[in-house]
Amino acid sequence: MSRSIVIGATGLVGGNILKQLAGADDRTIAVVRRPLEALASNVEVLEVDFDDFLMNGTLPQCDHLFICLGTTIKKAGSQAAFKKIDFDYGLGFAQKARAAGATGVSLVSSVGADSKSKNFYLRTKGQLEEAIQLLGFSSVNIYRPGLLVGVREEKRTAEKLGQTLVKFVDPLLIGSLSRYRSISAKRLAKTMVDRVAGGTGVRHFHFRDFNFD
């Protein structure tokens, strides 16, 4: 039986990953900053202060890490605060998981991620992708979705508006532009879980690579 760790389990994608793993023969640890309720019997919670944990803590032995952390610059309050959540925490937990024996990592990034982008958000996402590839995981799965569709606990007004608009825009995004289409968080999560055992090396996944069966 393998053991997976999910960072960002209270978010839209992370929560759906927990549901997917709950139905698998897998032991799962959800690392969170606030309590989680109504969990399956094979899911345990590790509630920590992220800053303190990354300085002093260690993760239990694990096989695979799912990084589903994400916020917006507006919600974080500044670019520095955003980078702390999206880059520092993501990389820090990846380092901890690698030290705990993990050989695989799945990262939720963003369509357009590029470490050399002039856009701060996309540049940060790209920098995290590159940093994680240097940690020695035998399998690195990087997911670059467009707008995520689903019901969040938190309110994101711009995202809610976007979810309405994509109904009209998505059909127009064809060919190479299809990677910018919206994707349901549930479908993304299922793809991430299904592709854990898909092989070694660095793989990037866009809209056309997500499960549509």
Active site positions, annotated: 121, 125
Of residues 5, 60, 57, the one with CA closest to residue 27: 5
Take residue 136 and report the two structure tokens written for it. 């020695």
- Give the SS3 label for residue 203: strand
Helices (H), 113-173: 120-133, 157-169
Q: Going by DSSP bridges, is the β-strand pair 64-67/43-47 parallel, antiparallel, or unpaired?
A: unpaired
Take residue 117 and report the two structure tokens written for it. 């982008």
Q: Which residues, in sequence order, are CB contacts of 168 under 8 Å at separation 6+?
A: none
Strand segments (E) across 74-200: 104-108, 139-143, 148-149, 183-184
Name the helix (H) or strand (E) containing 67.
strand 64-67
